[in-house]
Structure 1
Amino acid sequence: MTEQEIASLVSSDAETNRGIPHAVEMADSSGMLRLVRVDLGGTPAHLVSKLNADIRSRVGNSQYANLVAAKKLVLVTLTPTETKKSLIETTIRKKSWPNGLRFSVFVTPVLCQLLGGVKTYGR
């Protein structure tokens, strides 16, 4: 989504500078907003700390808070392997999150090629 499209869903001047991709399925009328984070090869704990920072920086915005309360905000993570997906999901379950926040972790094998020589935990 472009910065203008994000602003039409969640108005906040600070939001345009946060740099995380947002996605909405156009065919989905539920109004679900997804924030997308790509696993760049760090530990699951590091990635989950990034997810935590992503949500903590937004829950002060009443529109994001309303999306969380309505279970319409999803933190999406793309990772290269099934093993890493499992490790990330386990680490997510160990933390405390705002009620209503949803998570999706997807395996995207092409990340292994894109990351090249970067060490990816759980390969």
Structure 2
Amino acid sequence: HQIATRAEEAAVRAAGISWRDYDRFMQKYVKKMGDERLTKVPADLDLKPYRDEHDVELLERMATAVTKGRHPPGINKAELHAKIKAHIKDRIAHAHAHMPKEPATISARRKPATKRTPRRAAAAGR
């Protein structure tokens, strides 16, 4: 989603339109489109491109709702809850796998600067 937004912004600016004006205009329609109920959604639709950094929070709310009995009729509550929890675990593992690793110590990253003695400083100036 973030990559698509950046590409959209670049295209808008390339067309000579202010991103702020364009975004303000489009926001009028975002809620309307977001509230639209989808029909005929393929069962094998790949949702990976639609994931964002807030997925885990949303999935936790979904799991809570399922626990309280708020789920589509005809859906097995225990199975749905287990799938949501497995997806949460997967998202957390994916996030941790892509976090930058910190070096053990500062000294492991670089050598300390050597102190120049007057003789070394003079030799460096030659």
How does the TM-score come out when normalised to structure 1? 0.24
Q: Which has the higher contact order (CA 8 A, sep 6+)?
A: 1
Greater Rg by CA: 2
Structure number having the greater helix percentage: 2
